[in-house]
A and B are shown apart, each in its own frame.
Chain A
Amino acid sequence: MDDLGFILLSYIAALGGAAALVWQVLRRGRALGAELPDEDKPWI
């Protein structure tokens, strides 16, 4: 299967990119959540 490297790279790029974005938004959300009172978070 000569195409394996290209195929794996596609999946790593898609899932890795998504995971990085998810991790970044969760980290930022936790950091800001600790700075603000609950009245500034209407979703709670």
Chain B
Amino acid sequence: MASSSASGSTATNSSTTGRTRGAGTGTTFTRWLGIVTIALMAAVVLFGLVLSPADVVQGESVRILYVHVGTVWVAYLAFIVTAVSSGAYLWRRTHSLTWDRIAGASAEIGVLFMAVTLLTGSLWGRLSWGTFWVWDARVTTTAFLFITYVGYLAVRGLGGSHEQRARRSAVVALLAVIEIPLVHFSVKLWRSVHQDASVAGRTTDVTLDGLMLFTLVLATVAFTLLYVWYVLHRQRVMAMEDALDDKGLDLALAERRREAQDATSTTGEVTN
């Protein structure tokens, strides 16, 4: 019985899915977006490592900050988008799973870039402060934020239906985003060795060299485009995973109904 149901399931699966090869998650827009992003990333490497000047105080280590600032910006953006999408999922009466997928895709790249932020910050800290790690307010709260969103991704991986996944992860995302202002204002709330905002700060008297500012903006734009590209592709992958999951569930249910009918008819024959 087991072998016949398994072979029956496979046959039904291949006949109902109607395979169309070569159609992934790309569109004309995302292909162009990808090309522009690759070009800008190449420019970031060129300007960040070669063309931009060394800093008067920090020396060559300032080159790390182009990556550090770009990735932390995207991580913040990603976590805010995760929270907004989660809120939209819970608030909208339709409870569209697209919002949940955007939230999940956004959190994934946010976690990666937050990890890169911590790593690059640690490397820069070794060159500037003489140590890889200090239990500083900004550094510690950033690490805590990273761990929180790793937890968010773990919650997404728990079992249950798509709706259950969406609902519980949305609640976690709305709680987790509260940490972002805490991280951002940690340098003001506590005594911190981490510097305050250099470019966007209202009270800053820092003047950046034109090429350094250009490289910083270039890196921020490049990483933001990469983020947009990733979220578009990843939420489509998630939609396909969900669709395949639903198809598998439908097939399993149909199989169980067929087995139940077979068992009923066999029992009926024996009784008669």
Contact = CB atoms under 8 A, between A and B. Distances in A.
Interface of A: 1, 3-4, 6-11, 13-15, 17-18, 21-22, 25-26, 28-30, 32-38, 40-41, 43-44
A29 B61 CA distance: 38
Interface residues of B, number: 47
Given A3-B59, A8-B49, 18 more contacts: A3-B61, A3-B127, A6-B64, A7-B63, A10-B63, A10-B120, A11-B67, A17-B116, A18-B112, A25-B25, A29-B236, A32-B240, A32-B244, A33-B22, A34-B22, A36-B240, A37-B20, A44-B27
A42 B237 CA distance: 12
A28 B105 CA distance: 14
B24 A6 contact: no
A21 to B, nearest CB: 6
Contacts of B67: 10-11, 14
B229 to A, nearest CB: 8
A9 B116 CA distance: 11
Interface of B is mostly: helix
B115 interface: yes
20 contacts: A3-B59, A3-B60, A6-B126, A7-B64, A10-B119, A10-B120, A14-B71, A15-B41, A21-B112, A22-B226, A29-B26, A29-B233, A32-B240, A34-B19, A34-B22, A36-B17, A37-B19, A38-B20, A41-B240, A43-B236
